[in-house]
Structure 1
Amino acid sequence: MIELEGLTKRYGDKLAVDRLTFSVRPGVITGFLGPNGAGKSTTMRMVLDLDNPTGGTVLIDGRHYRQLHNPLRVVGALLDAKAMHGGRSAYHHLLCLAQSNGIPRSRVREVLDTVGLTPVAGKRTKGFSLGMGQRLGIAAALLGDPQILMFDEPVNGLDPEGIHWIRNLMKSLAAEGRTVFVSSHLMSEMALTADHLVVIGQGRLLADTSMSGFIAENSRGYVRMRSPDQERLKDVLSGAGITAVPGTEGALEVQGEDAAHLGELAARHRIVLHELSPQRASLEEAFMRLTAGAVEYHAHANHQPPPPAAPGPAWGDDWRKKGS
């Protein structure tokens, strides 16, 4: 288990993490969400003693990370997939980590096979693609067979097969009773992966709840209704004290009512329905609503960037010579 109590980090006048208190429990996948600049990476670095807190504490199974003997056997982490010596092969990168933590050499081959890098185990990592580097970082996190795993943007650079693989891997690790703490900006993927959510904004805790609870509390659910006799449907709903508002594609949207009840009401009045569909709010919608006031960097849709400068003759000639 990872336990944060009043964790705070200040860089000069900038308060990056503001008195965070929450726990990451075993047996579930805990998603860690927040806008850019919210303090997620700083928090994860403090868990691993890569940054010193200004205040508060963070404990791993009751101890500070620096107090762990052979820490890779307790915590496996992927924070930066590029954190490797480019001149070393994938095998020797992992072997160096294994030898520093008393991990058997045989384990290196096991994790390379787990992440699908056995065919390139002897290749230097400087030639690895982003996805290959990501897989190697995951292999390093798994190396010590730890009970606690932390992943920062684990699907970055992975193809669809790789995304499906890491999602199932995290689920299997949690099912084994391990603690899995994962940060990502991909809401669609987090919705498929996480059981519990911790959401922060501008360094402060905004939510610490289940996935279903988070969506229910921070978004709007409704029922869509469409009929060829839309005006009569509106009158029937209004007569029953039900408020319907116009939606997309000519549909009506009704909040606070059960779809079955609405369908029965339409049937009693012999109104044909072309659509009667409950709309479950998305994680993305819930996240945007909750963090709207905690976004540090705002883009403006009406901003038009300047046109790119035309390449000079020399650049163009060189480009054609290279056949790019």
Structure 2
Amino acid sequence: MIELEGLTKRYGEKLAVDDLTFTVRPGVITGFLGPNGAGKSTTMRMVLGLDHPTAGDVRIDGMHYDQLKDPLTRIGALLDAGAVHGGRSAFNHLLCLAQSNGIPAPRVHEVLDTVGLTAVAHKKAKGFSLGMGQRLGIAAALLGDPDILMFDEPANGLDPEGIHWIRTLMKSLAAQGRTVFVSSHVMSEMALTADHLVVIGQGRLLADTSMADFIRQNSRTYVRIRTPQRERLLDVLHEDGITVVECGSGALEVEGEKAELIGELAAGHQIVLHELSPRQASLEEAFMRLTAPAVEYHAHSDAAVGRPRQAARAGWGADRGKAG
């Protein structure tokens, strides 16, 4: 279990993390979401004692990270897969970590096999692709067989097979009763992986809830209907006090979770339905809606991007001339 209480971090005038309080519990995958600059990486670094809080506290099973004996056997983390000496082989990198934490050497072979790097175990890390480096970082996190695991963008650089593998691995770890805390910007993947969500923006806690509740609370739920008996259905729904919105392609939409009621009304009046589908926003849409006010960096479609090349070059040349 990871417990944060009033966790705050300042870098000079910049308030990176602002009074965060939440608990990452065992047995579920907790997704950690937030826009760029929200303070996610800083928070994870404070969990591991890499940054010290300005105020507040963070504990791992009731202890600070620096109080843990052989910390890799208590918490494993992937924060920066590139933090590997390029001249070392994958095997030697993991062996050094194992020896420093009292982990038996055979465990190195086990985790290399788990992440699929046995065939390149004795190759130098500097020759690894991004995905291979990511697998090595995951192996390091698993090395001590810890009860708590933290992953920052674990699917980064992985191919589709690798993404499916890491998703399955995290689900398996949580099913074993371990604490799994994962940060990612890939909303589609997080929607398939996480059970619980902690969302922050500008360092502040925005949500701490289940995946289902988060989407329900931050998105529009509606029912989409198509029927060849459009006018008759409109009359029936109107008589029942149901507000209907007409949209493109001849479809109708009704706000809320009313699919069963609409289906029963249509059946009772012998109205044929070609479509009756409950709809709900995706995790990405719900996330964007909640965090929009907390986004620091807004990109815009700039007309200059689409202007004729000749004009763009002429302007660039004029600017160069002035600079010269």
The alpha-carbon deviation at position 260 of structure 1 amounts to 1.9
Quick one: distance in 1 between partners of 2:308 and 2:172? 48
The alpha-carbon deviation at position 233 of structure 1 amounts to 2.5
Aligned to 2:320: none
Quick one: distance in 2 between partners of 1:267 and 1:157? 51
Is 1:226 matched up with 2:230?
no
Is 1:50 matched up with 2:75?
no
> The residue matched to 2:305 in structure 1 has which SS?
coil
User: Where in structure 2 are the equivalents of 1:170-189 lying within 5 Å?
Assistant: 170-189=170-189
Paired residue type of 1:222: Y
Is 1:36 matched up with 2:71?
no
Aligned to 1:91: 91
Aligned to 1:101: 101
Q: Say if 1:45 and 1:263 are closer, same or farther in 2 by CA, change over 3 A.
A: same
Paired residue type of 1:27: G
Is 1:272 matched up with 2:252?
no
Quick one: distance in 1 between partners of 2:113 and 2:186? 27
Q: Say if 1:62 and 1:251 are closer, same or farther in 2 by CA, change over 3 A.
A: same
The range that moved more, 294-303 or 172-181, is 294-303
> TM-score under structure 2 normalisation?
0.92
> The residue matched to 1:290 in structure 2 has which SS?
helix
Aligned to 1:281: 281
Paired residue type of 2:7: L
Quick one: distance in 2 between partners of 1:293 and 1:257? 28
The range that moved more, 216-225 or 264-273, is 264-273
Quick one: distance in 1 between partners of 2:136 and 2:248? 45
Q: Say if 1:303 and 1:147 are closer, same or farther in 2 by CA, change over 3 A.
A: farther
> The residue matched to 1:15 in structure 2 has which SS?
strand
Aligned to 1:299: 299
Aligned to 1:255: 255
The range that moved more, 273-282 or 247-256, is 247-256
The alpha-carbon deviation at position 263 of structure 1 amounts to 1.5
Quick one: distance in 2 between partners of 1:14 and 1:172? 39
User: Where in structure 2 are the equivalents of 1:1-324 lying within 5 Å?
Assistant: 1-305=1-305
Quick one: distance in 2 between partners of 1:300 and 1:230? 41
Paired residue type of 1:296: E
> TM-score under structure 1 normalisation?
0.92
The alpha-carbon deviation at position 286 of structure 1 amounts to 1.3
Quick one: distance in 1 between partners of 2:100 and 2:309? 51
* Alignment gaps of 5+ in structure 1: 311-324
Would the aligned equivalents of 2:222 and 2:279 in 1 still touch at CA under 8 Å?
A: yes
Q: Say if 1:135 and 1:273 are closer, same or farther in 2 by CA, change over 3 A.
A: same
Q: Say if 1:248 and 1:53 are closer, same or farther in 2 by CA, change over 3 A.
A: farther
* Alignment gaps of 5+ in structure 2: 311-324
Quick one: distance in 1 between partners of 2:54 and 2:129? 37
Would the aligned equivalents of 2:221 and 2:257 in 1 still touch at CA under 8 Å?
A: no
> The residue matched to 1:99 in structure 2 has which SS?
helix
Would the aligned equivalents of 2:8 and 2:54 in 1 still touch at CA under 8 Å?
A: yes
User: How big is the alpha-carbon RMSD for the aligned residues of Structure 1 and Structure 2?
Assistant: 1.6
- Count of aligned residue pairs for this structure pair: 310
Paired residue type of 2:33: L
> The residue matched to 1:23 in structure 2 has which SS?
strand
Q: Deviations over 1:125-175 (max 9, x none)?
A: 111111100000000000011111000000011111111111111111111
The range that moved more, 170-179 or 261-270, is 261-270
